[in-house]
Amino acid sequence: MRFVLVHGGFHGAWCWDKLVPQLEALGHEALAMDLPGAGERTNETANHASWRAAFREVVEDGDVLVGHSQGGFAISLAADELPKKVGRLVYLSAAVPIEGKPMGAATTGSTELWPETIGMPAEDFMSLVDVPGQGPCVSITDSDAANKIFYHDCDPVDQAWAFRRLTPLPLGPTLEPFVLSRFWTAPIPRDYVLCTDDYSHTLASDNEFMRRLGLSTCMSVLSSHSPFISRPGETARILAACASGVLS
């Protein structure tokens, strides 16, 4: 089985570094990709069209696409773009779009809770920056805030490693309405993995994401928003179980 791993906002392919060898130890292939506008591709314009093109470059027949957080939006685009190639979709604490609406409409109430969760006003840990060739982006500027949102159960060394690699989040893709007519009707199996100690969004949001996918059950891992860092072995086993179809 080949897994294509798709990062969330502010992150890049690097965030899967601990998970890839765990999947390989289970006998699977794993490819961690950067979306345009992130990781090693921050100089490439980020929008729905460029994300679709990125998937056309890498997805092979039968691939299992794993999307984390904002990566759930991305793998939904991939499934709409390549409905006959994608073998399975796994949403790892990931957002699910609403047809005809932008990302913000699909995640109402999530990031708005961050100041209360972190205990500081948004302007103390986020800033709006203009990235040449990319336009307006949001940057996370405080490591304690990042640790609270993403990595509270991770080793301090891993927390520092991850924070150094965060990149500004392009706003362009977040403002585009989703047009996914093939995604909703494609017979691609879908799974959801719930992180039960996740401070990035509410359990109600996870339940709503699952409802949009037509799911009534899920796999779970006792972790923060980043189980691929804090619990890579357990996460690999859960992803492998999803790929084997234990829930469908």
For residue 37, tell me if it sits in a domain: yes
Show the tokens assigned to 245: 């179809």
For residue 163, tell me if it sits in a domain: no
Q: Residue 41: which domain range?
A: 2-107+171-243
pLDDT score recorded for residue 110: 73
Show the tokens assigned to 9: 């906002």
| Residue spans of alpha helices (H) in 34-91 | 48-58, 71-81
pLDDT in tens, 46-79: 999 999 999 999 999 999 999 999 999 999 999 9
For residue 157, tell me if it sits in a domain: no
The CATH number of the domain where 239 resides is what? 3.40.50.1820
Pairing of strands 190-195, 219-221: parallel
Spatial contact of 46 and 35, defined as CB atoms under 8 Å apart: yes
Query: What residues contact 134, with CB distance under 8 A and at least 6 apart?
Result: 37, 42, 43, 45, 46, 168, 170, 172
For residue 153, tell me if it sits in a domain: no
Spatial contact of 71 and 7, defined as CB atoms under 8 Å apart: yes
Number of independent structural domains in the chain? 1
pLDDT score recorded for residue 30: 98
pLDDT score recorded for residue 246: 87
pLDDT score recorded for residue 109: 67
For residue 225, tell me if it sits in a domain: yes
For residue 72, tell me if it sits in a domain: yes
Q: What percent of the chain has pLDDT over 70?
A: 100
Spatial contact of 225 and 198, defined as CB atoms under 8 Å apart: yes
For residue 128, tell me if it sits in a domain: no
pLDDT score recorded for residue 77: 98
pLDDT score recorded for residue 12: 98
pLDDT score recorded for residue 111: 79
Q: What percent of the chain has pLDDT over 90?
A: 96
Residue with tokens 């009534």: 216
pLDDT in tens, 207-235: 999 999 999 999 999 999 999 999 999 99
Spatial contact of 135 and 166, defined as CB atoms under 8 Å apart: no
Stretch 18-45: mean pLDDT, rounded? 97
pLDDT in tens, 130-153: 998 899 999 999 999 999 999 999
The pTM score is 0.97
Spatial contact of 7 and 39, defined as CB atoms under 8 Å apart: yes
pLDDT in tens, 74-114: 999 999 999 999 999 999 999 999 999 999 999 976 778 89
For residue 6, tell me if it sits in a domain: yes
